[in-house]
Chain A
Amino acid sequence: MTATDTDLICAIATPPGEGGIGVIRLSGPSAKRVAQSLISVEMKPRRAHYCQFTAEEEVLDDGLVLWFPAPHSFTGEDVVELQGHGGPVVQNEIIQVLCRHGARLARPGEFSERAFLNGKIDLVQAEAIADLISAKSRAAAKAAMSSFQGVFSAQVTALEDQLLGLRVAIEAAIDFPDEDIEILEQARVGDTLDVLITSTSALLVQAEQGRKLAQGITVALVGKPNVGKSSILNMLAGEDAAIVTDVPGTTRDLLKVDISVDGMPLQLVDTAGLRETQDTVEMIGVQRAREQMQRADHVILVVTAADVVANEAGFLANEDFEALLQRLALEAVPELGEVSAVNIHLLVNKVDLIDSKLRGSHPWPATYVSAKTGEGLAALTKKLVQLGSGGIEDTVFTARLRHVHALEKTRELLVQAKRGISSGIGAELVAEDCRMAHQVLGQIVGTVSPDDLLGEIFSSFCIGK
C-alpha cells in the first residue's frame, strides 16, 4: 500500500485525434470489476481477449482487452487496457460508462505518479514526473479554460463566489446565532441554492456543448498584412485537411477555423485585418485579438523570406533568437503587446521568392513554406501535429471532461442541500453539503480554508460582544 489514493482512475492513453487504435487505461484495485461491466468475456491475466464493449445492451466499440494484475503492471496496481478504435466520440462514451461504474478521470500525470509511488519508476525519474504533472496540469487547465473563450473560467469563479457567499451566511448563522445580525433565513438559503443550481446547470450545458466539438488546441496566426496568413490558412484547410466547421469570429475581425490535421482536431484563429481601421469596433477587435492570443495555446508568427534577409545581420550578430522573435512579433502586430517567446513559432512564407542559396541554409529554427507553390506543407503539418499533441495525453477533451465531472458533482451536492432545506433538516447538514460542494469546486479553482471563510464572515458582519 502507498500513501496515495487508491480509487480507480481512467484515461485515454493514446494521442488525441482520430487514430487507428484508441487505448483506454484503467488503474486501481477495482479495475477488473469495473472493466468487466463493459465486456462479457472473463479476463485472464496478461492475455489479449477480443470482445465487444457494450453498455446497456448497446455495442459501443469492439477490440482487445488486457488485464494486468497488481503488482505486475505499469502503475503497480491492477490495470486494464481497452484497445478500441479511437475517435473522440466513442472513447468519450466508454469513459462515461466507466465513470458511472465508479472510475474517475485521471488527473494529468496521475498514472505516472502512481507508477512512481509504487516503485515502478526509479528515483531519477521522479523530478521529471513532477515536471510532467506540472506541465500537463498547466496545459490542461489552459486548454479547458481557453476552449470556453474565457467564459468558463469567469463563470466558475463567479459560481465559487456565490457559493462562498452562501457558506458565509450559513456558517455565520451557525457560529454566531445570538448576534443581532441579519442572518440568512432558511427560505433565502433555499432561493440562493436554486440560483446556484441553475448557474451550475447552465455552465454544464455549455461545457457539454463545448465538449462535443472536441476542438483541440488553438493556434493563432499573426503577422503583418500581406505576409500570406490567409493563404496559409487556405492551404491547410484546402489540402488534405478538411474544414469541420467554419465559425465566424467573435468579431468580424477574427476568423476561427476548425480543421483536422492528420486526424487531430485543431482550431486556427486568423487575426488578419487588424490594422486597417481605427474605429471603436476595431478597438474591440484588437482587444479580442489580444485576448485570443493570450488564450491561444500557440502563436504562429508568419514572416516572409524578405524579413529573414532584412534581419539576417541582427541574427548573425548573435541577437538572441527569442528576443528576435519577440521583436518581430511586436513589429507585426504592435497592438498585441509582448507574448512569451516560448509559445511563438516562426513560419517563414514566400520561400519561393528568394534565391536558392538562402533557401538551402535555412538560418533560423523555423518552418519554411510557400503557400503559393505548396512547398513545405508536409513540414508545416508535422509541426502542427507536434504542437497539437505536445506529447501529452491530456487534451482539451479530457481536461474539460474532468471539469464537467467536478461540476456535475457540485450540482449533485447542491441539489442535496436544497432537498435538505425542503425537508427541514438541520442547518448543519445543509452546511455540510455546501462544504463538500465547495471542496469539489475547489478542484477547479483551488481550495478555500476555514480561516478564509471566517475572514469573510468578520468582514461582512459586525460580530462580537
Chain B
Amino acid sequence: MDFPERFDVIVIGGGHAGTEAAAAAARMGAKTLLLTQNIETIGQMSCNPAIGGIGKSHLVAEIDAMDGIMGRATDLAGIHFRVLNASKGPAVRATRAQADRALYKNAVRDILEHQPNLSLFQQSVVDLHVEGDTVVGCKTEMGLNFYATSVVLTTGTFLGGKIHIGHDQHAGGRAGDAPANALAERLRALPFRVGRLKTGTPPRIDGRSVNFNELEFQPGDDPRPVMSQLGRRDMHPRQVHCHITYTNEATHQLIRDNLSLSAMYSGNIEGVGPRYCPSIEDKVVRFADKPSHQIFIEPEGLNTTELYPNGISTSLPFSVQLQFVRSMVGFEQAHISRPGYAIEYDYFDPRDLQHTLETKALQGLFFAGQINGTTGYEEAGAQGLLAGINAACKAKGVTPWEPRRDEAYIGVMIDDLIHLGTTEPYRMFTSRAEFRLRLRQDNADQRLMPKGLALGVIGAERQAHYSAKMRALETTSKEMGATQIFPDSDMAKTLGLSLRREVTVKECLKRPEITAADIASVLGISNDEDMAYKALAQLEIETKYAGYIKRQEDEIEKIRRHESMQIPGSLDFLNIDGLSNELRQKLDHHRPDSLARAARIPGMTPAALSILLVHAKAKNAAVAS
C-alpha cells in the first residue's frame, strides 16, 4: 500500500548520519520521515563509546553550530571528558568524551522525538522508487510505499554487510543486527561505482573479571570541557575513569602463531581497512619491532560493567581472542562478553556525488555516512547534517549549502571525498585542512551560523546564545582595546610586565607570555563558562594569530581566483601537450573541475598549472562560441 501522507524528505537509517539528516531537514521545516530497521537502535554507537578527538570534535563543533544533535547528546551522556592538544594551540585543540552508550542513545532519541515535523517509522527498506532519473520514494519489507521529493540514504555498514570471526563468516550489519541485502542488491543495479571496505571491533570485556589494581588509570580533565556551545558542566552525568594496559611479547607471539586463522590474513576479506585503525594482527605484523602496544580501556557506561578495550580490534577466532586478551596485565581472568570481529560492507564511490551529497546519477537521492566510504560517528554526523539540509533545500527549491574548504572541516571532507574519492575508510585529521588555523572549535559558530540562520536550520535557543556571544565579543574587543595598563601599575605587576609606556590590554595579549586566563584573573572573571571569559579567550587567539591568519587569507584569496577558473568537463587531460605523462594520468584520474582542485593534486607545479589554465580557458572560450 501507499502511505497516505507524502513527505518532503525521507531519511533511511537511524545512525549518526541518519539522525542528523532527519533532524536538520525537520528543523528547516521540511516534513520528514526517518525510516529505520529498529527504533531501539537509533543513535547507537556501534564502535567505541567515544565522541570527539582531534579533527573529529571540530566536526562536532560544526554540527553543533548548525544546531545539530551530536554535541548536545554528548554533554548529556559524557562520562569522561578530556582536552587533547591543550598545549599545541587553539586550532588543533580538541575535546573528547567517553559516552555512556545508553544515555547517548536516549539523548538522541529524546531530541528526535521532540523535533517538530519529524516522524519515525520502523521497517526495513527494500527498494527505491525511481522515475526516469529521479528518486521519488521507497518501499519497505511489508510492501509499504513512501513518497518524497528527497531521499537520504544512510545505511552505514549494513549494505551487503558480512561479519568475519576467524574463518567463520556470516551476513550482518552489526553484531546482532541483520544486513540490508535486498537494498544492497537493488543499489548495485543502479549506475554507481561500488567498492568494499572493512573495519573491525575488539572483543568486549566484563569489568567484573578485570583486576583494576594492576592497571594505570586516567581521570578526566579538570577543568572539564563541554562539547556543545550550549553545554554546561552541570548537564554531565557522573564521571568515571578510563584505564590503560599494554600488549606484551606473549600477546604478540600468540597472534603471530595464529595469523593464518585471522580472517584478514587468510585472504577471506577483500575490503580495505583503515591505515590509522589497524587490527592487532596488523600492528604485530607491520611494526614487528615494537615490543608493546597501548590499550585504552573505555567504560561502556555507568550502568554496565562492560568495557571496550580500544586497540585490539581483531578477526581472529574466539579461542585465540580469549588467549591473547588474557595474556595482558589486568586481563588475566578476563571474561569476553562479546567477541571481536571484522566487518566488510559496500560503499559507493563518493566521486559519483555532487557537493550537496546528492548523487550525480539520480536526482533527489542523497548519500551520507559510511555508505560514502567514511568512518567515524562525527564524519557520518557531519555528512548527515549536510545531506539533510540539502535534501530540505531541494524540497523547498532553494539554493543548497556547499561549505568551502576554508570555511569548515565539513567542506574539507566533502571536497576530499567527491574529488579524490577514497581507498580506505576516510577519517578526519586536522592535517587534511590546509586552513586549520581558521577552522577552530571556538569559532565554528562564527564561521557557519550566518549561513545556518539564512537556511533556517537554527532554533531559537541557539540563535539567542549566538547573539549573546557576538555581543560579548564586540564589547570585550572594544573594552580591551580601550583599557590601558600603565608602567608600574598594580595590573602590570600582577601580570609581570615591565613596560616603558602604557599599552592596551589588547596589545598586551599579543605577547606570548600573556594569556587570556591571566587577563581574566586580573579583571576578576573567574568562571570559565562565562561569556566574557570565552570572549577574552577568543580575542587572545585573534590577536596572537593575526599575522598567520592574514597570510592564510591571502592564500585563500588566491585559491578563490583559481576556483573561479572552471575546467570544462570535456577537456581531454590525457592529450595535453607539455604535461608529464604522470601528471596527465593523475589529472585524468581525478578530473578536477577547477584550477584550485588541480592545484591540490600531488606533483603539480606552477608551470603545469599554467598550461592547464591556458587549455581550460581556451576550451571554455571554444565551448562558449
Contact = CB atoms under 8 A, between A and B. Distances in A.
A138 B565 CA distance: 25
Contact of A107 (B55, B434, B552, B606): B606
Interface residues of B, number: 68
B617 A449 contact: no
A37 interface: no
A135 to B, nearest CB: 7
Given A5-B561, A175-B54, A177-B84, A463 B430 contact: no
B595 A3 contact: yes
B190 interface: no
Nearest to A141: B607
Interface in B546-560: 548, 551-552, 558
Chain A contact patch, size range: 35 or more
Interface in B173-219: none
B614 A423 contact: no
Interface stretch (A229-237, A265-273, A427-435): A427-435
B277 interface: yes
Interface stretch (B118-126, B285-293, B445-453): B285-293
A252 interface: no
A347 to B, nearest CB: 30
Contact of B577 (A131, A171, A178, A464): A131
A355 interface: no
A428 B88 contact: yes
Interface stretch (A50-58, A210-218, A333-341, A450-458): A450-458
Contacts of B361: none
A5 B295 CA distance: 51
Interface string A75-112: 00000000000000000000000000000000111100
B613 A425 contact: no
A42 interface: no
A432 B434 CA distance: 9
Interface string A167-205: 000010111111110000000000000000000000000
A177 B579 contact: no
Nearest to A428: B89
Contacts of B601: 447, 449
Given A175-B431, A447-B603, A448-B602, A462 B88 contact: no
A174 B92 contact: yes
Contacts of B607: 107-108, 133-134, 137, 141
B622 to A, nearest CB: 7
A4 interface: yes
Q: Which residue, of B290, B294, B420, B431, has the highest number of chain A Cβ atoms within 10 A? A: B431
B436 A428 contact: yes
B468 interface: no
A429 B310 contact: no
Contact of A450 (B90, B431, B618): B431
A126 B602 contact: no
B548 A176 contact: no
B275 interface: yes
A146 B437 CA distance: 39
Nearest to A132: B578
Nearest to A463: B276
B85 A174 contact: yes
B365 to A, nearest CB: 28
Interface string A125-146: 0110111011101100100000
Contact of B615 (A126, A173, A432, A452): A126
Contacts of A176: 54, 276
A424 B565 CA distance: 41
B57 to A, nearest CB: 12
B88 A5 contact: no
Contacts of B88: 173-174, 177, 426-428
A431 to B, nearest CB: 8
A176 B48 CA distance: 17
B599 interface: yes
A428 to B, nearest CB: 4
Q: Which residue, of A3, A109, A442, A458, has the highest number of chain B Cβ atoms within 10 A? A: A3
Interface SS of chain A: helix, strand, loop or mixed? helix
B602 A447 contact: yes
A435 to B, nearest CB: 7
A135 B603 contact: no
A443 interface: yes
B51 to A, nearest CB: 14
Interface in B568-625: 576-579, 595, 599-607, 610-611, 613-615, 617-618, 621-622
A117 interface: yes
Given A137-B607, A425-B89, A428-B436, A462 B283 contact: yes
A137 B609 CA distance: 11
Contacts of A5: 558, 561
Given A130-B615, A462-B290, A465-B310, A110 B90 contact: no
Contact of A3 (B90, B562, B604, B606): B562
A447 B600 contact: yes
Interface string B418-461: 00100000000111101011000000000000000000000000
Nearest to A186: B87
A123 interface: yes
A110 B89 contact: no
A464 B274 contact: yes
Q: Which residue, of B552, B603, B610, has the highest number of chain A Cβ atoms within 10 A? A: B610
A446 interface: yes
B90 A113 contact: no
Contact of A423 (B55, B275, B286, B512): B512
Interface string B85-126: 101111110000000000000000000000000000000000
A436 interface: yes
A74 interface: no
A454 B89 contact: no
Q: Which residue, of B548, B551, B578, B613, has the highest number of chain A Cβ atoms within 10 A? A: B578
B564 interface: yes
Contacts of A315: none
Given A3-B565, A446-B604, A447-B605, A123 B611 contact: no
Q: Which residue, of B84, B432, B611, has the highest number of chain A Cβ atoms within 10 A? A: B611
Contacts of A424: 512
B311 interface: yes
A300 to B, nearest CB: 26
24 contacts: A3-B562, A126-B615, A129-B614, A130-B576, A130-B578, A133-B610, A133-B614, A174-B88, A178-B296, A424-B512, A427-B88, A428-B90, A428-B437, A429-B89, A446-B602, A446-B604, A447-B600, A447-B601, A447-B602, A449-B600, A449-B601, A450-B429, A450-B432, A462-B278
Interface of A: 3-6, 107-110, 113, 116-117, 123, 126-127, 129-131, 133-135, 137-138, 141, 171, 173-180, 423-429, 432, 435-436, 442-443, 446-455, 457-458, 462-465
Given A123-B618, A135-B578, A432-B552, 15 more contacts: A3-B562, A107-B606, A127-B577, A130-B614, A130-B615, A133-B578, A174-B85, A175-B429, A426-B89, A427-B88, A429-B548, A450-B429, A463-B278, A464-B277, A464-B283
